[in-house]
Amino acid sequence: MVEGILLVISGPSGVGKGTVCRYLLEIRKALKLSVSTTTRPPRQGEQEGKEYHFTTPSRFKAMIKEGFFLEWAVVHDHYYGTRSDAVRELLSSGQDLILEIDIQGAEQVKEKVPEAASIFLAPPSMAALEERITGRGTEDSDRIGRRLDTARREMKAYDRYDYLVVNDTVEKAAGLIDSIIDAEKCKVSRGARPPGGGGEC
Ligand code: ADP
Ligand code: 5GP
């Protein structure tokens, strides 16, 4: 069996990663989103096991020590991580999987799983990014300022990714990522073979 594709979607906070991923999951039903573990308190409407697995800092630190994570990072004062066992299990069953994670985590995944396809989601402009972070209404003004400072730094990391997608409209960005997955599936290095195995011509 050919392993599923591991797709890493990253980019600055507020660029629209969550929004684009949700749309992508609608247009590509076979795709799954990995559920991360975090120490951030749940936002209104978030459910355990759906958006995140919520845990305490001490439990998270114990999980780091026990080697549970494929990658982990501290993002805006909270721990976030992707459990290795769940990712390996899904990929080996042929499931295509998205990791929607921050830039530090994306670098760790690329080091450990070089065949993962990494996508940097960029805003159409810094003004649009500021509008999106402010418009989301989940942060106070102090936190918005910090997220924007981090975002400016993070924008410089785009050249360490396999693909760059501008989140101009959600439909366009998700459509491009959908095409990237199709292209990844055609890679011979990933196991694509002609019908009949290619030896019969
Ligand atoms: P992230 O997951 O990268 O932090 P979100 O998905 O939470 O970002 O999006 C941040 C805000 O930007 C949300 O209010 C969302 O509705 C808005 N947004 C996302 N993509 C677009 C887009 N293409 N055009 C306009 N607004 C967008
Ligand atoms: P939020 O708190 O807004 O849901 O997420 C904050 C940031 O954490 C986002 O940039 C998101 O991509 C990132 N994030 C979510 N899950 C993970 C994870 O498992 N690992 C890493 N490294 N970052 C994550």
Residue-level pLDDT at 201:
55
Q: Which ligand is nearest to the CA of 106?
A: 2
Percent with pLDDT over 70 in the chain:
97
Instruction: For strands 97-100 and 163-166, give the pairing.
Output: unpaired
Secondary structure (3-state) at 120: strand
Q: What is the pLDDT of residue 176?
A: 98
Summarised one tens digit per residue, pLDDT across range 14-59 is: 899 999 999 999 999 999 999 999 999 999 999 999 999 999 999 9
Tokens of residue 178, six digits: 């959908």
Q: Of 40-49, 130-139, 158-167, which range is least confident?
A: 130-139
In the prediction, which pLDDT does 198 show?
67
pLDDT (0 to 100) of residue 133:
84
Closest by CA position to 91, among listed 189, 5, 188, 192: 5
Query: Per DSSP, what are the bridge partners of residue 164?
Result: 120
Burial of residue 191 (CB within 10 Å: 0-12, 13-18, 19+) is: exposed
Is the C-beta atom of 136 inside 6 A of ligand 1?
Answer: yes
Class of domain 6-34+95-190: alpha beta
- pLDDT value at residue 43: 92
What is the chain's alpha carbon radius of gyration, rounded to the nearest angstrom? Answer: 18
Does 136 score more than 80 pLDDT?
no
Distance CA 82, CA 68 (A): 8
pLDDT in tens, 108-134: 999 999 999 999 999 999 999 989 988
Q: Please report the atom of ligand 1 found closest to the CA of residue 170.
A: 23
Query: From residue 189, how far is each of 2, 92, 154 by CA, in Å?
Result: 11, 16, 30
- Dist CA 183 CA 54 (whole Å): 35
For residue range 2-17, list pLDDT tens digits in order: 789 999 999 998 899 9
For residue 18, which ligand has an atom nearest its CA? 1
Please list the alpha-helical segments (H only) found in the chain.
Answer: 17-27, 57-65, 84-92, 103-112, 126-136, 141-154, 170-185
Cβ of 17 less than 6 Å from ligand 1: yes
Pocket flag, ligand 2, residue 82 (CB < 6 Å): yes
Residue-averaged pLDDT of the chain:
93
